Amino acid sequence: MINFNIPPFVGKEQEYIRQAIVENNKICGDGPFTKKCNQWLMDKTGTRKALLTTSCTHALEMAAILCDIKEGDEVIAPSYTFVSTVNAFVLRGAKIVFVDIRPDTMNIDENLIESAITEKTKVIIPVHYAGVSCEMDKIMEIANKYNLYVVEDAAQGVMATYKGKQLGTIGNLGTYSFHETKNYSMGEGGALLIRDKEFVERAEIIREKGTDRSKFFRGQVDKYSWVDLGSSFLPSEINAAYLYAQLEEAEKINNNRLASWELYYNGLSGLKDKGLIELPVIPKECVHNAHMFYIKLKDLEERTELINYLKERGIASVFHYVPLHSAKAGLEFGRFHGEDRYTTKESERLLRLPLYYGLKDIDVEKVISSIKEYFKVKEK
Ligand SMILES: *Cc1c(COP(=O)(O)O)cnc(C)c1O
């Protein structure tokens, strides 16, 4: 059986967890391992401040609080994304305005954003699908023109760049995920990246149950108290210890994933040349992180057939998001601006292939040959 995903494990995780428990005597949040992860993220990305969180979902919730989202505010996002991208803002009372995607990258179409802006719009949320960046220059230009915040959902974008800038550091705020399905993991976890100075202090407070505990620990105040709204958004040291082992090996993990990705791309390009499938497009200003390898089939029917064909051969392949604007909650909390030219159609054709740290070349070859075989059988 070739799994779709196996959580990353590089080797030192157990040792670091042992250290957290036995040497540091610290298993709650914000101990030495959390600090090391925060520092690693800041050094790697160059962002002003990085704070480890309990999930990317929670980092997005923090972002919604920091942007001061109020009942009736509007937020612009793609419909082709994970629920958390928008749920975080719906929880603060926002209405979601969905904009169509580009068929090449599956990212929000930057040229459709401006016409979706109203006087209620407060935030634009680009989602960097598959670790391939949205067209950030254009998005930042629009945001500056209309004085809007940009929150990058870079859940899939750790170690990927746009014009040399790490994803998650370009907008006012950015969010990462360290869920077990992502490139670097701590089981459940994430991070908030903060570009703007104005957000730093408040972010620390929100993350610590609305208290100024971080300042207290730094000796900046002599007692800590309740100063703002907030929740418990800081992860346990045990999770942070697991993650730190992976961040130390980030290049190795990234290169390993990229090698599998290249193998898929080259192996399947013959089918692409024959017009039977489409392969991912990486715009020239983007360096991706091999978060995902997907192909696009003719339609939903062909995709379902191929999923079953691969399953019979012991290969797990999966489709992805069902567009949010057509879901029950999407109808209630959002509206689609303009025409759904690509969101539904492209999402129905997309199929994700197995890709994880340590995936064997021989398994990639088996997936490739099975897909080729499917089309050969079909041709007859
Ligand atoms: C995985 C993912 C999330 C949620 O991440 P969690 O850490 O599981 O909360 C949000 N947005 C996108 C685009 C994702 O891929």
Q: Token pair of 146, please?
A: 């209309």
276 C-alpha to center of ligand 1: Å? 31
Helix or strand (DSSP H, E) at 259: helix 250-273
Mean residue pLDDT across the chain? 97
CATH of the structural domain 250-379, one choice from 3.90.1150.10, 3.30.56.10, 1.20.1250.20, 3.40.1160.10: 3.90.1150.10
Q: Is the pLDDT of residue 58 over 90?
A: yes
Treating both helix axes as pointing N-terminal to C-terminal, what angle do 361-379 and 300-312 enclose, rounded to 10 degrees?
120
10 Å CB burial of residue 246 (0-12, 13-18, 19+) is buried
Q: Is the pLDDT of residue 378 over 90?
A: no
359 C-alpha to center of ligand 1: Å? 22
pLDDT tier at 53 (50, 70, 90 boundaries)? very high
CB atoms within 10 A of CB 373: 12
Least confident of 111-115, 186-190, 375-379: 375-379
Ligand 1 surroundings by CB, under 6 angstroms: 55-57, 81-82, 84-85, 127, 153, 155-156, 177, 179, 190
Identify which of 307, 351, 343 has the alpha carbon closest to the alpha carbon of residue 327. Answer: 343
Please state the rounded mean pLDDT for residues 27-45. 98
Please state the rounded mean pLDDT for residues 178-206. 98
- Phi, psi of 201, deg, nearest 5: -65, -45
CATH of the structural domain 13-247, one choice from 3.30.420.10, 3.40.640.10, 3.40.250.10, 3.40.50.300: 3.40.640.10
Sign of CA dihedral 256, 43, 179, 59: negative
Helix or strand (DSSP H, E) at 335: strand 334-336
Closest atom of ligand 1 to CA, residue 60:
10
Nearest CA to ligand 1 atom 8: 179
**How much is the pTM?**
0.98
- In the chain, the percentage of residues whose pLDDT exceeds 70 is 100
Whether 197 and 58 have beta carbons less than 8 Å apart is answered as no
pLDDT in tens, 194-241: 999 999 999 999 999 999 988 888 888 888 899 999 999 999 999 999
pLDDT in tens, 74-123: 999 999 999 999 999 999 999 999 999 999 999 999 999 999 999 999 99
What pLDDT, on a 0 to 100 scale, did the predictor assign at position 356?
98
pLDDT in tens, 244-275: 999 999 999 999 999 999 999 999 999 999 99
Residue 161, helix vs strand vs coil: strand
What pLDDT, on a 0 to 100 scale, did the predictor assign at position 176?
98
For the chain, the domains span 13-247, 250-379
Identify which of 230, 234, 371 has the alpha carbon closest to the alpha carbon of residue 312. Answer: 371
What pLDDT, on a 0 to 100 scale, did the predictor assign at position 379?
81
What pLDDT, on a 0 to 100 scale, did the predictor assign at position 216?
87
- Measure the CA–CA gap between 80 and 301, rounded to whole angstroms: 20
